[in-house]
Chains A and B, each alone.
Chain A
Amino acid sequence: MAVKNLLEAVRETLHDALARDERVFIMGEDVGPRGNVFLITKDFVEEFGHDRVLDTPLAEASIVGVAIGAAMAGMRPIAEIQFADFIYPAYNQIVGEAAKMRYRTAGGNTCPLVIRTPYGGGVGGALSHSVSIEALFYHVPGLKILAPSTPADAKGLLNSAIADDDPVLFLEHKKTYRLIKGEVPPGEYKIPMGKADIARPGSDLSVITYGLMRHFATQAADELFKDGIDVEVVDLRSIRPMDRETIVKSATKTRRVLIVHEDNKFGGVGAEIAAIIAEEAMFELDAPIRRLCGPDVPAMGYSKAYEEAFMPSPERIAAAMRDLAAF
C-alpha cells in the first residue's frame, strides 16, 4: 500500500471522485488554477476543467448556498471553505438550510453535499486561521461531522461523505496535512461514519479524542507504557454520528476516562462524551471523568507562546493521564 500524508490522501480521494462521478464537482476560493491554498487541488483544473473545479467569488454564504442548490438539482458538490475560521458567513446556509432540507420537505428534497474545511492550530495561524469549529455545528441534527486524523481515515471517510445523501461537514486538521503519514488503501476505500477507531488498545485508562489530538494522545500513551500504565486511545473520527457504543465500552473496560480536544472546553464535544458516559456507565467508573481541552478564551494568539499555552501537548496529555491513573 502506498504511504501518503493526509493532504495527499485527501487530494487523491477528490481526484478519483471527480474522475469517477460526473455529478461531483469542487467549488471554493482559489481551488482552480492556484490549486487551493494548501495545493490540495493542484493541477485539477487542467484535468477536469474550470466548471468542475470552480473558483467562486469570495463569498462563503453563496459557496454553500449555491452548492445546496446544485445538490438539490442532482449534483454532488464538494464545497470548500478556505479556512474553518471563515465559515461563519455560511452558518445560515449550513445550519438553517442544508441540515433541515430533508426534514422540512419530509424527504422530498435532499442535500447530498460535502463541505470541506481545514481547521485547528499549531501552525502559527493566529486568531483567525486556527480555530476549531466542531462544537458550533455538532449540536445540529441533520448534519454529519467528520474529523479524520490519519490518511487512510481521511480517504475512507471522505469517500463515504461524497456518497452520502445528507450534508457532511468534513474537517481536516491543518497540522496533520503534512505531519501525518500512513498507508492508504487503493480504490474507492470507504469507512462507515459513526465508527470510532481504537488507535491504541489499553486497559488502565481511556483517552477519548479526535483529530490531531489522537496523535498527541498516542504519543503520550507510549510514554506512560514505559512506566507500566496501559492507556487506550479512542479516536472518534466521526463527531456526529458519534459512536456511543465504543465510548461506553472503553469507559467500562478501563474505568477511567480522560477526554482530550483542542477546541474550547466549555460546551465542547467533550461535554457530550462526558454526558454519554455519565448516562450509561457512571457506576462503572473508578474516577471522575476528566477533560483536557483548549482553554475558554476566544482563540489562540499569534505569538508562539500563546499557541503553546492553548494547545494540549503530548506532555500535558501525559501529565493528565498520570494524574488520572493515580486517582
Chain B
Amino acid sequence: MKSEPTVRETLPEGLTPDRLREMYYCMVLTRTCDDRGFALNRQGKIPFAATCQGHEAIQVAAAFALRKGVDWLVPYYRDTCMALSFGVTPREQLMCLFARKDDIFSSGRQFPNHYSVPDRHIASISSIIAAHVTHAVGMALAHKMRKEDAVVLTSFGEGSTSEGEWHEAMNFAGIHKLPVVFLCENNEFAISVPQKMQMAVKNVADRAVAYGFPGVICDGTDPLASYTTVREAVERARSGGGPTLVEAKCYRAMSHTSDDNQLQYRTAEDIEASKKRDPVPRFEAWLTDRGYIDAGGILDMKARAQQEVDEATDWAEHQPMPTAEDLYTHVYAEGPLS
C-alpha cells in the first residue's frame, strides 16, 4: 500500500505521504458512512439523513490543518467528513444516526451530525442556522484571555452568512483579532435557494472586508489547495494575526437532506455536471498518479471502510433506545426543576 511516490514534489508543510493516505481514508470512510445513512433512511430504519457529498475535500483538509487535542472545531450539520477526520468514530456516527441512548453527542436528542465531543474538542451546535458562530467567537475569546494558543475553526454554508448573528460574530472577532477561522462551505444552495438570492456579492469571502480581516477563496473539492488555504488561516490565527474568512467553493451532490428532492429546483444536467467534481475519485487519481497509493491500496482501504461501517451499523442498531425517563435528564445540573 505504501508505494514510493513516482513524482517528487514538495508537499504542503504538515503533510506527509502517510497523512495524505489518512486523508484519503477519511474521505472514503465518510462516503461509506454517508451512503449507509441514506440507505438506512430508505429502508425506514432511521427517519432522517444528510450527507456531505461534494464537501469531503475541504472538510478533511480543515480537520488536518488543526492540531488535535489543542484546537477546537465548531462544525455544522454537514460536516461528517470533518468530524470523522477529527476523531469521531464510525460507531459514534452510527449511534447518532440511530438516535440511541448512548449516542455520545446528544443521547439521541438532536438530529444526526450535531456533534458534541468535548474530549476531542468538538463543540455542540443546534439546528438553528448560524447560532453557533458567536459561540466559536466566545470560545476564541476565552482562549485569548487565558493566553492559550488554541485556534477555533467554525464552519457553515453560504446561506448561513445571511443571518444577522453571523455578521455579529464576524464583527466581534474582527475587533478583537481573535484566533478563529470562519470556514464557509459554499455549495451554492441553501436548501433550494441559490446563492444569487442570498447575497448581492459574488463571493462570500468578499464580506470579510467589512470586518477588517482577510477573506480568501479556495477550491473546496481539492484537498491540497484546501489544506494550504486553511492552514495559512490557522497559522494567522495562532500567531495573533486574527481571523480569516475562508470560502471553499464546493457543491452539493445530493439533496439538502433525505427530506428534500433537489429535482424540484435543479435540473438533472446541473446535478450531473457538479458530480464531475466529486472530490473522492479526483483525490484517488491524484494519489495514484503520483504513486502515493496503488490500486491494491485503494481496494484495501475501501474494504476496511466498508467493514468498519458494517460493524458499526450492526452494533449501533442493537444498542438500547432511550427510555421515557431519559426525557428528564440533563435539564439543569440538579435535574428537572419547575
Contacts and interface: CB of A to CB of B under 8 A. Distances in A.
Interface of A: 25, 51-52, 56-57, 59, 61-62, 64-75, 77, 89, 92-93, 96-97, 100-110, 141-142, 144, 164-166, 194, 240-242, 244
B168 A73 contact: no
Given A62-B137, A242-B338, A105 B116 contact: yes
B164 A104 contact: no
B138 A166 contact: no
Contacts of B168: 57, 59, 61-62, 65
Given A72-B135, A93-B134, 15 more contacts: A52-B145, A56-B172, A65-B133, A66-B138, A72-B139, A73-B139, A100-B126, A106-B109, A108-B105, A108-B116, A141-B337, A144-B332, A194-B337, A240-B338, A242-B338
B181 interface: no
Contacts of A67: 138
B333 A62 contact: no
Interface size class of B (residues with CB under 8 A): 35 or more
Contact of B139 (A61, A70, A240): A70
Given A65-B134, A104-B124, A104-B126, A166 B114 contact: no
B106 A73 contact: no
**9 cross-chain pairs, A with B, having the tightest CB-CB distances, nearest first:** A69-B138, A65-B134, A62-B168, A69-B135, A106-B107, A73-B142, A66-B138, A70-B138, A105-B116
Contacts of A93: 131, 134, 165
Contacts, number: 146
B331 interface: yes
Contacts of B134: 61-62, 64-66, 68-69, 93
Given A102-B330, A103-B109, A105-B116, A65 B131 contact: yes
Contact of A57 (B110, B131, B171): B171
B104 interface: yes
Contacts of A74: 142
Contacts of A71: 138
Name the residue among B72, B165, B171, B331 with the largest chain A CB count within 10 angstroms: B165
Contact of B169 (A62, A73, A75, A92): A62
Contacts of B337: 141, 144, 194, 240-241
B294 to A, nearest CB: 41
B165 A92 contact: yes
Given A62-B134, A68-B135, A75 B142 contact: yes
A290 to B, nearest CB: 23
A203 to B, nearest CB: 28
Contact of A166 (B116, B140, B169, B333): B333
A108 B137 contact: no
A104 B124 CA distance: 8
A110 to B, nearest CB: 7
